[in-house]
């Protein structure tokens, strides 16, 4: 293992609070009151809520309640404060992660810090945004999957999909007229600052994964003097438009899927032909053969299968064996494994609705149907499984009723102490180029590149990364500007 954590800065223990960002009034939330919650045997969990302004430009106006949960520091030694964690998405419930998972960070870090999770505004238990019924969202996913290999703006599949996209946007506005204009990642960054104040922390300590890195980047840019020890793992470049984002992710997913095809054909028990090209073609043929809709618990739809493929690209060491078995069963007529892996039939969570709505709110202008058809044809040529579906997916933002007035742009965070950006060389969800770009943008960033194919590396998937991050969080020692971590 290369020694990369031995040099660097000792980070400041606190930061003096500056004036709020331009155009924003100061907000002083009340301290949090914690009560026992959760049902993990032998574990202590505590929950709280925090009232924050719906609109930070109107701090005395209506409020919404943010749901929070924490794991109190487990060790007997001196506490180092609180670390706010965000699992990404957007749309994933950070509260549920705290209440259902035994740990979030390394044992050493959890011994010294309270680990605080939260549901972002519009997510989970924090004023959840519902734009359509679960049944309507099923049709939404079905029609997108049906449209995914279309390259003509005039095809019936595209007409159905664009109608679904318009209905989604209309539902977001009619069902959430007050909330829909205040659901952006920039709003959640302001909520982070309210949480820091309510926790009584002198600086923001934070670990975020995936979309949680975009959230952190906006926080660092807005509140650089309030930054403590912050780790951004598997980063998103906040300057990307929705189509640049979708293009980059489709390329990363496709590359990871090709690694899965190799894994399958080399396993000795692959249901696809042994030749790579033939296996890829057979996989696409199988996807095209699946029904467009259905509720039978053993019959996967095309939408179920596409969701399963996408989800399985995130953590190959864990998910590739599961996907291989699900694919083997699916080709034999039993799609239950693909349905479970895809998770589209979960009607109790607003995760997908929040994901789509928040990303649309954050996005800049999007191409029209004709321009999108051209993109779909281009992307289909080099990313034949994930390309065109990601192109068409961007149409959902065309008629969205509200947008971030600032839009996507680079960040700087000038004046912040060192922060860590972690990227995996073969990440199947957030390309390593995004981590490199974010590290270039943030003035104080330290880039750690891991030789792995896992999305969200810390704390479980690379010992070198874990050592660097733990040293930073526990001792305040930042690594050099760039560190390379070999594969385990």
pLDDT at res. 488 = 95
Q: What is the pLDDT of residues 89-143, one digit of tens each?
A: 999 999 999 999 999 999 999 999 999 999 999 999 999 999 999 889 888 888 8
pLDDT average, residue stretch 209-221: 98
pLDDT at res. 7 = 28
pLDDT at res. 20 = 58
pLDDT grade for 25, boundaries at 50, 70 and 90: low
pLDDT at res. 140 = 87
- For the stretch 289-304, what's the b/e string if a residue is b when 16 or more beta carbons lie within 10 angstroms of its beta carbon? ebeeebeeeebbbbbb
Give the residue with greater pLDDT, 57 vs 27. 57
pLDDT grade for 22, boundaries at 50, 70 and 90: low
What residue spans define the domains of the chain?
35-127+186-239+410-485, 134-175+243-397
Measure the CA–CA gap between 403 and 488, rounded to whole angstroms.
Answer: 43
Q: What is the pLDDT of residues 240-285, one digit of tens each?
A: 999 999 999 999 999 999 999 999 999 999 999 999 999 999 999 9
Secondary structure, 3-state, 407-446: CCCCCCCCCCCCEEEEEECCCCCCCHHHHHHHHHHCCCEE
77-91, 359-373, 410-424, 454-468: which range is least confident on average?
359-373
Statement: residue 70 has pLDDT above 60: yes
CB neighbour list of residue 374: distance below 8 Å, 6 or more residues apart = none
- The tokens describing 385, both together, are 């499984």
Count of CB atoms situated within 10 Å of the CB of 77: 8
Tell me the pLDDT of the chain averaged across its residues.
92
CB neighbour list of residue 40: distance below 8 Å, 6 or more residues apart = 99, 100, 102
Measure the CA–CA gap between 384 and 377, rounded to whole angstroms.
Answer: 10
pLDDT at res. 293 = 84
Secondary structure, 3-state, 7-51: CCCECCCCCCCCCCCCCCCCCCCCCCCCEEECCCCCCCEEEEEEE
pLDDT grade for 4, boundaries at 50, 70 and 90: very low
On whether the CB atoms of residues 405 and 23 are closer than 8 A, the answer is no
Per CATH, domain 35-127+186-239+410-485 is 3.50.50.60: no
pLDDT at res. 349 = 86
- The tokens describing 31, both together, are 């301290």
0.85 surpassed by pTM: yes
pLDDT average, residue stretch 22-28: 63
- Please compute, for residue 109, the number of CA atoms within 13 A of its CA located in the half-sphere on the CB side: 27
Instruction: Say what angle helices 276-289 and 242-265 make with each other, to 10 degrees.
Output: 120
CB neighbour list of residue 41: distance below 8 Å, 6 or more residues apart = none
pLDDT at res. 21 = 63
Alpha helix positions (H), 176-241 = 185-199, 211-222
Statement: residue 355 has pLDDT above 70: yes
Q: What is the pLDDT of residues 464-474, one digit of tens each?
A: 999 999 999 99
Q: What is the full DSSP assignment across 339-357?
A: HHHH-TT--S--HHHHHHH
pLDDT at res. 283 = 97
Beta strands in 72-155 (DSSP E): 81-86, 113-118
């Amino acid at each position: 293992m290369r020694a990369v954590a031995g040099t660097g800065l000792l980070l400041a223990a606190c930061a003096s609070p500056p004036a709020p960002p331009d155009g924003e009034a100061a907000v002083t939330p009340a301290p949090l009151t914690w009560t026992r919650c959760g049902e993990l045997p032998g574990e202590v969990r505590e929950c709280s809520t925090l009232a924050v302004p719906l609109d930070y430009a109107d701090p005395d106006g209506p409020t919404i309640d943010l749901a929070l949960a924490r794991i109190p520091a487990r060790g007997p030694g001196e506490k180092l404060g609180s670390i706010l964690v965000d699992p990404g998405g957007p749309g994933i419930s950070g509260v549920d992660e705290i209440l259902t998972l035994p740990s979030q960070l390394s044992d050493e870090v959890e011994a010294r810090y309270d680990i605080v999770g939260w549901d972002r505004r519009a997510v989970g238990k924090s004023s959840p945004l519902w734009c359509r019924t679960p049944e309507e969202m099923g049709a939404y996913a079905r029609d997108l999957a049906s449209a995914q290999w279309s390259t003509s703006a005039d095809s019936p599949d595209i007409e159905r999909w664009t109608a679904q996209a318009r209905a989604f946007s209309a539902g977001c506005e009619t069902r959430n007229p007050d909330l829909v204009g205040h659901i952006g990642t920039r709003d959640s960054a302001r909520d982070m600052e309210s949480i820091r104040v309510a926790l009584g922390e002198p600086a923001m300590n934070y670990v975020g994964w995936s979309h949680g890195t975009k959230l952190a980047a906006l926080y660092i840019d807005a509140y650089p003097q309030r930054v403590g020890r912050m780790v951004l793992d598997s980063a998103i470049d906040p300057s990307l438009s929705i189509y640049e984002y979708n293009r980059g992710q489709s390329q990363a997913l496709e590359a990871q899927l090709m690694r899965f095809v190799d894994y399958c054909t080399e396993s000795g028990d692959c249901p696809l032909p042994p030749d790579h090209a033939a296996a890829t073609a057979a996989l696409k043929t199988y996807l095209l053969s699946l029904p467009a809709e259905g509720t039978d618990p053993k019959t996967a739809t095309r939408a179920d299968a596409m969701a399963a493929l996408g989800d399985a690209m995130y953590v190959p060491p864990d998910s590739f064996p599961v996907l291989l078995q699900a694919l083997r069963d699916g080709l034999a007529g039993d799609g239950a494994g693909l349905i479970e892996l895809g998770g589209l039939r979960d009607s109790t969570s607003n995760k997908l609705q929040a994901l789509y709505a928040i990303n649309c709110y954050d996005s800049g202008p999007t191409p029209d149907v004709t321009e999108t058809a051209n993109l779909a044809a281009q992307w289909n040529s080099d990313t034949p499984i994930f390309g065109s579906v990601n192109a068409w997916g961007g149409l959902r933002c065309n008629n969205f009723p509200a947008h971030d007035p600032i839009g996507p742009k680079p960040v700087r965070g000038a004046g912040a102490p060192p922060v860590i950006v972690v990227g995996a060389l073969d990440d199947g969800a957030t390309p390593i180029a995004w981590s490199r770009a974010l590290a270039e943008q943030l003035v104080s960033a330290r880039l750690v590149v891991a030789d792995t194919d896992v999305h969200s590396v810390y704390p479980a998937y690379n010992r070198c990364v874990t050592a660097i991050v733990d040293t930073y969080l526990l001792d305040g020692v930042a690594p050099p500007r760039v560190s390379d971590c070999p594969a385990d």
